[in-house]
Structure 1
């Protein structure tokens, strides 16, 4: 099967996810609505939104690169992609819950569980695509053993365990993983460049 419709559908869903997250940012109102204190009171909500925006952006970017390196897809890839989109679609809920409750234990744990499931779903999608293509395909070579993905998943699990006792440390771990992924992945960039030649 051709991949165009899957990419277009995924782009649309991801755009909607970002839109829903930004709509959760409420304009300050009330007695201090036009004061800087209202913005300070919104800091947890805004910081959570910013972190989630980065995460969704990272998934969109890597999704785009991954599908650039494949020529066709299977029915299994369609389902694996829907699985990823399902977990990504929970980001607005997890973002709002964590931000509105000022990084308390259970919302931070819930946010981490959503991050874990997004990472697992992305790994399943990558495995499904590489299995459909040769072991020496551009995507398989770009992913390699995927230590970055496996390390991120391990950090998420550690962060969720830590969140039961120190939610702010868990939040710091989530942020570190986002920073790690924000730095462009040279393996995939290199293969994309080679594939386009």
Structure 2
């Protein structure tokens, strides 16, 4: 399989994930502004999830640019990532529909942690299958440190959910901020 086919399939799955999420926002049956107010938890969970899916799409794009040879293990590691990403719409809908109740936030954070773990597995699989320059190895190690920090924050978010879901929400958003700006080190290493 060539790299462009893997990218196209992944892009298609991610586009479907976003489409499924937006379909969970139900249109009010009246045209009054006040009728939009009850939708704020659903809209807020959608916005947060859209940001996360977009972050993973961007980082996935950068990571796949480093691939020289696609192997069966890369295909399966990529499918593993897409599996966990595909569960984000469910967790998003459940969390928004239930106004960020504790169990819904735990599941959401757990799924995000599993998506992060799957991304790390994909990265390790790609590194194992493709020889890299020392610059690229350094760039990928920096991402691994960020991934470890993210998992730690997710675990803290899960732990604080039963104390205060707002704190958990802030922690989950903090991870999104951490990854929001793509790491230019991979692009620089590719140019080297």
Which TM class, normalised by the smaller chain length? Answer: over 0.9
SS at structure 1 position matched to 2:133:
coil
**Structure 2 partner of 1:18:** 18
**Structure 2 partner of 1:123:** 120
Contact residue 138 and residue 191 of structure 1 kept, 8 A = yes
**Structure 2 partner of 1:44:** 41
How do residues 127-166 of structure 1 correspond to structure 2 at under 5 angstroms?
127-136=124-133, 139-145=136-142, 146-166=144-164
The offset of 1:135, in angstroms, is 4.9
Contact residue 55 and residue 179 of structure 2 kept, 8 A = yes
How do residues 40-189 of structure 1 correspond to structure 2 at under 5 angstroms?
40-136=37-133, 139-145=136-142, 146-189=144-187
Inter-partner Cα distance in structure 2 for 1:139 and 1:83: 24
The offset of 1:164, in angstroms, is 2.1
List structure 1 segments (4+ residues) > 4 angstroms apart after TM superposition. Answer: none
In the TM superposition, what whole-angstrom CA distance separates every residue of 1:55-109 from its partner, at most 9, and x where no partner exists? 0000000000001111111111111100000000001000000000001100000
The offset of 1:134, in angstroms, is 2.2
The offset of 1:190, in angstroms, is 2.2
TM-score (norm 2): 0.94
Inter-partner Cα distance in structure 2 for 1:178 and 1:108: 15
- What number of residue pairs does the alignment pair up? 191
- Which 5+ residue runs of structure 2 have no aligned equivalent? none
Inter-partner Cα distance in structure 2 for 1:129 and 1:53: 26
**Structure 2 partner of 1:27:** 27
SS at structure 2 position matched to 1:172:
helix
**Structure 2 partner of 1:3:** 3
Inter-partner Cα distance in structure 2 for 1:112 and 1:79: 23
The offset of 1:186, in angstroms, is 2.6
